[in-house]
Amino acid sequence: MTASMAGAVDLAAVKARSEAAARAAEAPPPAAGAYVVDVDEAGFQTEVIDRSFQVPVLIDLWADWCQPCKQLSPVLERLATEAGGRWILAKVDVDANPRISQALQVQSIPTVFAVIGGQLVPGFQGALPEAQVREFVGAVLQAASEAGLPGAQPVDEAAESLGEPADEPGDPRFSEAEDALERGDYAGAAAQYKKILDAEPANAEASLALRQVALLQRIDGLDPALIARADTAPDDVSANLAAADDALANNDVDAALARLLGLLRRTTGDDRNAVRDRLIEYFDLIGSDDPRVPAARREMTSALF
């Protein structure tokens, strides 16, 4: 799970993640012994999201009445203390903080998530045996090291804790692009991905990443007035392309596709080609495994021919 964006990426969160990363860089590291924290709604941004840019944060969702929680929580607390700050345990009482559990779509407790660099990583439900909990923690530390978190343990140590060989180091060319992306330097990231593609035109990861960076660059310069105009000017191509980008950036895939498909039917010539190209870009970004993509492709073909 890296900023190379090979896979699903929360485009709506990229700017927020960049700002959170800056706050985390300025914040002091976890105090010695402060490896288990009780988190409420007010402190969730600082203690979980921002902190996750320094070290991975595991979220333990529990309640006082939950008997399995009383089995799992002590295990997590002990492991967090043993780790000595390589990761933080954030305990969330779901009864006192219902909006957090609703936002995370928690179905039952105990439930554990991890947050690495501002991104949520699915964990597990129920009181697992300690060996399985340790395995999950090790995998989280491995992913955090690969993501370049400064407080996470090195990859080889994480792998050793799992009894597995260390992975090979990541491609430094992607690391440069990822560093630029984390700084919010979209132009620098795009230049680095283009450099990779110049050397390897068939590099699918760089190609996908470049498309996503292109979207981020467009989003960064979006004019709210232009987006608002789209609803009153359905034939304004620029406004509707901007509104579609804004919808996709906010993870409203259905609205983004519907807007472009409607626009495709109302345009001709170069305008139609621009809309078609944007749709094809969206298909790549969303991924062919999303059931909305094949349906939208069929609708696009029907509109074109």
Instruction: Decide if 266 contacts 234 (C-beta within 8 A).
Output: yes
Domains of the chain, by residue range, sit at: 31-161, 172-304
State the pLDDT at residue 25: 53
State the pLDDT at residue 1: 30
State the pLDDT at residue 164: 41
Question: What's this model's pTM, rounded to 2 decimal places?
Answer: 0.47
State the pLDDT at residue 156: 41
Architecture of the 31-161 domain: 3-Layer(aba) Sandwich (3.40)
State the pLDDT at residue 290: 78
State the pLDDT at residue 232: 92
CA distances from 87 to 7, 20, 78, 139, 223 (A): 24, 17, 12, 12, 40
Q: Name the residues annotated as catalytic.
A: 66, 69
Cα–Cα distance between 114 and 133 in angstroms, integer?
12
Reported as a single tens digit per residue, the pLDDT across 48-71 is: 988 888 889 999 999 999 999 999
State the pLDDT at residue 80: 92
Long-range contacts of 252-256 (CB under 8 A, 24+ apart): 253/286, 253/290, 253/292, 254/292, 256/282
State the pLDDT at residue 150: 66
Residues of the chain with pLDDT under 70: 1-33, 150-170
